[in-house]
Structure 1
Amino acid sequence: MSAINNALSELAKAQTISASSIEKVHVPTIKQKPRWPWLIAGFSLSLAMGGWAMSQQERALQQDDVIQPHQQSAVTSESALAEVASLPSPTAKVTSASDTIYSAPAPIRLPLPEVVDVAPQVSVQASTVQASIVQPTTTQQSESSLSSRASSPSLKPDDAPRFIANVSKPNASESLSEASASPTTDRADGVVVVEQVELTPIQLARKAQERGKKALDANNLADAIEHYNDALRYAPRDSQIRQKLAALYYGKGEVRKAVDLLQKGIAIDHDDMDVRLALSKLLIKEKQNAAALTPLVHLPANPHLDYLSLRAALAQKNNQNALAQESYQQLVAIEPENGRWWLGYGIQLERGFKLPEATSAYQQALNKVGLSSSSQQFIRDRLNVLSTLEEQSNAN
């Protein structure tokens, strides 16, 4: 054990000696060369390369400019030689061959249409603008310039001579003088007529009515009512437009508007039988028979059959005997061959206790046309009753 301890102690001493003998080594620093000279050298080299490339490009352009005039002069000399060679000999027989190099297209004149602009409610103004068509001035190309264009370096001296056609167009002054000399003969060329026409209220109403019909065909009720309102505003006395608009309101379910519209028409024209008749029929559809008679109480001059017949029927139904008798009396005067009018007239005379006149009216009804078998049987029964009443009155 002592030997081992001695060995270990010696080893430890040796390590301490070696550790104490380590010294610091001083390494000299390496100096780096500056980099900016390399940067300057690279930049200078790039500038030199760019300048050299630009100089080469300019030299190539100068060479092209020198070559092109040389080629043009060569072509010109060749064309001159070709012209000299193509000249015929004084003793030779010249055969002229003409080839058309260019032919001018015929001028095309397009007629300008007359435009009519229609604007409503605008005073008439007409402005005529005449635009004279001036053809371009005459351009005559010289024979030498055309021949230099037509010739090419491949021309041979033995080619036949060519005659170049000169193309000329009419002078601008000549065309202007022709246009001013006859402005009416060629009116379709270069004339635009713009007219503004004032439409009458009737025409405006017809236009709006047509738009309303188109809207109805397209099942557009709102637009149709709007257009018919416009038409009625232009022509408030047009009973047809008023009746159509009232029918549209009634079909839409607005009965009050339809009635008011027809009543306004009666207020505008007191003798308008069509509007009165339309209002009466509308009230009949609403089952207002007493109110339906009100528009027909007024009897205009020369009433037509429809007005009188509806007036008589409503008056008879509402026990208005005076109105009914008046209406039937006019009906038998207008159509004396109609048995229905005589039957109604006889009934009203009987209600008024005018028995002899009623008997005569019933007998006239039996001799006229237009009655059914049941109506004829009713007349016979009434005649029997009237004859019985007359016998009783005579007996008394």
Structure 2
Amino acid sequence: MSAINNALSELSKSQTVSKSGLERAQVQVVKRTNALPWLISGFTLSLAVGGWAISQQPVPVLQATSEVIVSQPISTNTPVRSPTTKLAQASDAIFAAPQRQSDAVANSLPTNADTVVEERVAPIVVAQRTVESNTLSAPLEQVEEYNVVAKPVLIAKAGVSHQPESVVTAQVKPALEVTTGEVIVEQVELTPIQLAEKAQSRAEKSLDANDLAGAINYYNDALRYTPRDSQVRQKLVALYYGKGEVRKAVDLLQKGIALSQDDMSLRISLAKLLLKEKQNTAALTPLVYLPSNPTVEYLSLRAVLAQKSAQDEMAQESYQKLVQLEPDNGRWWLGLGIQLERAFELTKATKVYQQALNKVGLSSQSQQFIRDRLVLLSRLEDQTNAN
């Protein structure tokens, strides 16, 4: 134990000696630079540079412009929502411009006016806000819907001093009424002619598609709207005749003739149809009636059929009218000469034959026939005189 105690005592002594040998070091304090003067000087320098830059810029010439802005109607139809809805949208008009009518000012203005004073009117702004409600409010008892129409306004600014007076004249148009959600149903009644035209158009389309039955139906509809339309009736007759339904075709033509006595085209069509069916005597029936102003085609067909059917009076009447309508046609003179010869009016027949030789439209055979008849008529006259 004594050895340990001695060791400990020596150790404590050595530590005491080492502690007593420690001395405080002398360190020189470093001086810190103050940054405040640098900050102030930099700020002052920047202000000086900025002021110099602004002074060097050119001064802008302000031109005031005047423009009329017609505000559009603002509809504030707020939708009514359920009481349990948490979000509600409201649209309020912040500003509604009053209506002002500017009168036209007509004054003599100086010719050296270089500036035009105009001013721009700020448009109307509509702000929309969304209101959030954390609690359920009571249901709305009464909701009114209305339209707020912002009317146009014209603002004029006084003239600039030391400048010639300038006048701005504008015409303000009233805002148009805007009706939303309106449907107009207008019933238009077509005339029978328009309905017939539509039916004919459908019939032609059916013919292009080789739909004969559909075309016949549509032409029947058109004929029902305009029963006196001879062209539609003749087209329908042609379709029936093409199908082999001759009886229906004849009935259609006869009904048309009954509706219009002076319609010569229907009478000619019926006569030609009966001629194709080898009914020469019946073909003359629709041509017996003589209209007030008959055409050459009508009279020529009437004269030929009457001549073949031995209806000499009808044939002579037709040829006499043909000679009056076309006096230079030799065929009509030839036909009239034949009818006069059948009526034993030989002297008149000789004169008519001689007229026919001097006209155009005759073949060489017809001319030879006329010469033979003249020779025969001269012999008959000689025999008559001898007796």
Q: Normalization by structure 2: what TM-score?
A: 0.57
Structure 2 equivalent of residue 308 of structure 1 = 299
1:183 aligns with 2:171: no
Residues 218 and 133 of structure 1: is their aligned pair in 2 closer, same or farther, counting only changes over 3 Å? Answer: farther
Identify the match of residue 354 of structure 1 among 329, 345, 350.
345
Structure 2 equivalent of residue 69 of structure 1 = none
Structure 1 equivalent of residue 327 of structure 2 = 336
Q: Distance in 2 between matches of 1:350 and 1:293?
A: 22
Identify the match of residue 269 of structure 2 among 264, 278, 284.
278
The answer to whether the 8 Å contact 1:237/1:268 transfers is: yes
Alignment-mate amino acid for residue 322 of structure 1:
E
Structure 1 equivalent of residue 358 of structure 2 = 367
The answer to whether the 8 Å contact 1:133/1:190 transfers is: no
Backbone CA RMSD of aligned residues: 3.5
Q: Distance in 2 between matches of 1:383 and 1:170?
A: 109
Shift of 1:314: 0.4
Structure 1 equivalent of residue 222 of structure 2 = 231
Shift of 1:197: 2.5
Q: Distance in 2 between matches of 1:171 and 1:387?
A: 114
The answer to whether the 8 Å contact 2:76/2:148 transfers is: no
Q: Percent identity?
A: 65
Shift of 1:90: 11
1:167-204 CA-partner distances (Å, limit 9, x unpaired): x96449775546993339x99x9997654332211121
Q: Distance in 2 between matches of 1:91 and 1:192?
A: 72
Structure 2 equivalent of residue 217 of structure 1 = 208
1:223-252 CA-partner distances (Å, limit 9, x unpaired): 110110000000011111111111110011
1:242-277 CA-partner distances (Å, limit 9, x unpaired): 111111100111000000111111111122111111
Q: Unmatched 5+ residue regions in structure 2?
A: 1-42, 52-72, 78-90, 95-122, 128-146, 153-171
1:247 aligns with 2:262: no
Q: Distance in 1 between matches of 2:173 and 2:126?
A: 14
Structure 2 equivalent of residue 393 of structure 1 = 384
Shift of 1:370: 0.7
Q: Normalization by structure 1: what TM-score?
A: 0.56
1:292 aligns with 2:283: yes
Specify which structure has the higher proportion of helix.
1
Residues 378 and 134 of structure 1: is their aligned pair in 2 closer, same or farther, counting only changes over 3 Å? Answer: farther
Q: Distance in 2 between matches of 1:201 and 1:387?
A: 64
Q: Unmatched 5+ residue regions in structure 1?
A: 1-88, 96-131, 141-167
1:202 aligns with 2:200: no
The answer to whether the 8 Å contact 2:306/2:312 transfers is: yes
Residues 381 and 192 of structure 1: is their aligned pair in 2 closer, same or farther, counting only changes over 3 Å? Answer: farther
Residues 190 and 346 of structure 1: is their aligned pair in 2 closer, same or farther, counting only changes over 3 Å? Answer: farther
Shift of 1:379: 0.7
Other structure's SS at 2:187 match: strand
Q: Distance in 1 between matches of 2:45 and 2:217?
A: 97
Residues 195 and 354 of structure 1: is their aligned pair in 2 closer, same or farther, counting only changes over 3 Å? Answer: same
Matches within 5 A, 1:74-113: none
Q: Distance in 2 between matches of 1:339 and 1:192?
A: 72
The answer to whether the 8 Å contact 2:304/2:315 transfers is: yes
Structure 1 equivalent of residue 165 of structure 2 = none
The answer to whether the 8 Å contact 1:138/1:169 transfers is: no
- Which one is further off, 220-229 or 263-272? 263-272
The answer to whether the 8 Å contact 1:331/1:341 transfers is: yes
Other structure's SS at 2:361 match: coil
Residues 134 and 92 of structure 1: is their aligned pair in 2 closer, same or farther, counting only changes over 3 Å? Answer: farther
Structure 2 equivalent of residue 259 of structure 1 = 250
The answer to whether the 8 Å contact 1:135/1:175 transfers is: no
Alignment-mate amino acid for residue 183 of structure 1:
L
